[in-house]
């Protein structure tokens, strides 16, 4: 039995093992496959980078736990970018399940890296039902929609919220979402109140967002894990999106290799059978 016949009869469990190893390696060792930056991701990064230091930005956590692999790295990279510029951040979520608690966990974790103080440098407003009404209401008074923050503290007791009363006191809306709420941030907040909106969305949502980009209604876009990895690269803080993209690239390379070997084996066996005839 030659090598091609052995490969043809290989136990598929070895292939599963190779796939497992190809995914595992990037999670243990830094591989750093090249990540090409897209214009829309650079546009979003530059929009934040060009804002004055200490600007007030609203960062939304409009995503469920099921989309964490794609969306949470975007939020983390955005927080690091903004706090590197000493910006003030107000977070909220337009979905009841997951969003507010994810915002609380992520902001608290990254705040420790930068020595940021809750109530002074960032505030988590939490969730309120009927996001269309919420978006309109924030234009006149944040406190009328969110009398307290996520933890129940009155906004009047938070130094940051004594300075920020509505959209007029914000410079940018950074929406990270896995659902249609991003459409409303664009069609309501940007179109009616003139606040620039940038977004990070799941890969399946990204194609729809390009119409907003082309119309000038959206300032930059991150699409899926690839977009998150691009932002991590620009911020200079590699995270889980970069690791995920490396694992994906490794597995793709393995699949390509197996396809090539499989086809070589097929043709070599056919050539051998013809020679035997």
Per-residue model confidence as pLDDT tens digits over 112-148: 999 999 999 999 999 998 889 999 999 999 999 999 9
The total of other beta-carbon atoms located within 10 Å of residue 225's CB is 23
- DSSP code of residue 165: -
Q: CA 87 from chain center: how many Å?
A: 19
Cβ–Cβ < 8 Å for 109, 86: no
**In terms of Cα–Cα distance, which of 191, 131, 124 is closest to 161?**
124
- Which residues, 6+ apart, have CB-to-CB distance to 32 below 8 Å? 238, 242, 246
pTM, two decimal places: 0.84
* Dihedral sign of CA atoms 128, 213, 106, 50 in order: negative
Which pLDDT score is estimated for 72? 93
Task: Average the pLDDT over 205-233 and give the result.
Answer: 91
- Which residues, 6+ apart, have CB-to-CB distance to 17 below 8 Å? none
The total of other beta-carbon atoms located within 10 Å of residue 210's CB is 13
Which pLDDT score is estimated for 33? 76
Task: Average the pLDDT over 41-67 and give the result.
Answer: 94
Exposure of 12 by Cβ count < 10 A (0-12 exposed, 13-18 middle, 19+ buried)? exposed
pLDDT level of residue 59 (50, 70, 90 thresholds)? very high
Residues 21, 254: Cα–Cα separation, whole Å: 10
Q: CA 28 from chain center: how many Å?
A: 22
Exposure of 172 by Cβ count < 10 A (0-12 exposed, 13-18 middle, 19+ buried)? buried
* Residue 91 predicted with pLDDT over 90: yes
Residue 106's alpha-carbon distances to 87, 91, 158, 228, 251, in angstroms, are 16, 11, 20, 15, 29
CATH of domain 39-237: 3.40.50
Cβ–Cβ < 8 Å for 91, 125: yes
- Which residues, 6+ apart, have CB-to-CB distance to 259 below 8 Å? none
Residues 184, 79: Cα–Cα separation, whole Å: 22
Residue 138's alpha-carbon distances to 40, 70, 167, 178, 193, in angstroms, are 27, 28, 7, 22, 10
Buried b (16+ CB within 10 A) or exposed e, 245-255: bbbbbbbeebe
Domain boundaries, the chain: 3-29+247-276, 39-237
* Residue 275 predicted with pLDDT over 70: no
If you search the block for the tokens 């510029």, which residue do you land on? 85
Q: What is the tens place of the pLDDT at every residue in 234-273?
A: 998 887 777 777 777 788 788 888 888 777 777 777 776 6
Cβ–Cβ < 8 Å for 237, 21: no
């Amino acid at each position: 039995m030659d090598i091609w016949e052995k490969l043809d009869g290989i136990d598929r469990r070895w292939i599963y093992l190779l796939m497992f190893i190809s995914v595992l390696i990037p999670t243990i060792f830094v591989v750093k496959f090249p990540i090409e930056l897209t214009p829309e991701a650079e546009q979003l990064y530059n929009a934040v980078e060009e804002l004055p230091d200490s600007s007030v930005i609203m960062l939304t956590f409009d995503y469920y736990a099921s989309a964490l692999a794609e969306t949470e790295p975007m939020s983390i990279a955005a927080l690091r970018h903004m706090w590197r510029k000493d910006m003030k951040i107000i977070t909220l979520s337009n979905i009841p399940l997951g969003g507010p608690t994810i915002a609380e966990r992520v902001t608290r974790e990254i705040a420790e890296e930068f020595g940021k103080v809750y109530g002074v440098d960032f505030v988590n407003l939490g969730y309120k039902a009927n996001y269309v009404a919420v978006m309109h209401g924030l234009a006149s008074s944040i406190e009328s929609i969110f009398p307290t923050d996520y933890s129940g503290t009155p906004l009047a007791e938070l130094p940051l919220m004594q300075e920020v009363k509505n959209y007029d006191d914000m410079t940018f809306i950074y929406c990270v979402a896995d659902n249609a709420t991003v459409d409303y941030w664009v069609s309501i907040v940007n179109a009616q109140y003139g606040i620039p909106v940038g977004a990070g969305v799941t890969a399946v949502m990204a194609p729809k967002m390009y119409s907003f980009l082309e119309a000038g209604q959206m300032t930059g876009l991150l699409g899926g894990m690839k977009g998150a990895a691009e932002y991590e690269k620009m911020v200079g803080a590699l995270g889980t999106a970069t690791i995920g993209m490396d694992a994906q690239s490794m597995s793709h390379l393995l699949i390509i290799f197996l396809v090539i070997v499989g086809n070589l084996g097929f043709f070599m066996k056919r050539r051998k059978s013809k020679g035997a005839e």
